[in-house]
Amino acid sequence: MPDAEDVRRIALSLPDTTEKIAWSMPTFRVAGKMFATLPEDETSLAVRCPKEERQELVLAEPGKFWIADHEAQFAWVRARLAAIEDEGELRDILADSWRQAAPTRLLDAYPELGLPAE
């Protein structure tokens, strides 16, 4: 089961990513744009997810994903670290979120990032 240190290590391995404390929690940003946070007691993470996809994701895996009330109007979803299968799945989740926040220059330079592992 991945933990907060795995989130930190994987997020910071993505190109042009930095960590910044905001709202008293670690946040991860690509080129200054936030793509992941480690909220509360660091047992979950919040990542970008298009609004049109996140309800389907939550319905498909309610033990893993949910939408926090205060994030309902934003394109974010939460994931329980204990429910994430392994580091590969965590990397896919973080890379997908990174891809949604990354500028075009990085997307062009790293076209393989954000694509699910095969």
In Å, how far are 19, 22, 38, 88 from 25, measured between CA atoms? 10, 6, 6, 24
Total-model pTM: 0.93
Per-residue pLDDT of 88-109, as tens digits, reads: 999 999 999 999 999 999 999 9
User: What is the rounded average pLDDT of the residues 68-73?
Assistant: 92
Looking at residue 118, its pLDDT comes to 47
User: What is the rounded average pLDDT of the residues 17-24?
Assistant: 96
Q: Minimal CA–CA distance to 28: which of 4, 56, 51?
A: 4
